[in-house]
A = this chain, B = another copy of it.
Amino acid sequence: MTTAISYPLPPAVVEATVAAIRFDANGLVPAIAQQHDTGEVLMMAWMNAQSVAESLTTGRACYWSRSRQSFWRKGDTSGQVQHLRELRVDCDGDTLLLLVDQVGVACHTGRRSCFYRAAAPDGLSTIADVVTDPLVLYPPHAHDHQAP
């Protein structure tokens, strides 16, 4: 689905990309993470200008955690890193799509994708199994219980 891009991208490209994004009143933009080869939508999180620049420079998906109000380099706690393949900007510049190579699982419940509940005739049903025990992702002795 994507050609391999080497990171860091040149600073001028990073700057032009950030400039093309319309961040909201809180300085954030929603970012969809999609597994680059299978097309599976893994999660949605938020980025600020710093996390966009960090992602395009390091080649690793970095977000802004609204709940913790902090920079969130995905996988730092859980090891479930997202290697960035390509960052795309939508027509209005107000949503991003990240094509990634997800190590392990994207969801803090230990499922591959966060979208594991579907509205079906018999109710809102769980359609994906837990792949990794969340206790393995976040051992009780872990210093900082972050999302994956």
Tell me the A residues contacting B by CB distance below 8 Å: 5-6, 9-10, 12-14, 16-17, 20, 30, 32, 34, 38-41, 43-44, 56, 86-92, 95, 97, 107-109, 111, 114-124, 127
B-side contacts of A111, CB under 8 Å: 91
CB distance from A38 to the nearest CB of B (A): 7
Check A92 against B119 for contact (C-beta < 8 Å): no
By beta carbon, the residue of chain B nearest A40 is: B39
Mind listing 23 A-B residue pairs with CB under 8 Å? A9-B119, A13-B122, A13-B124, A16-B123, A30-B30, A30-B44, A34-B39, A41-B97, A56-B119, A86-B120, A88-B115, A88-B117, A88-B119, A89-B118, A89-B124, A90-B114, A90-B115, A90-B117, A91-B107, A91-B111, A91-B114, A91-B116, A95-B115
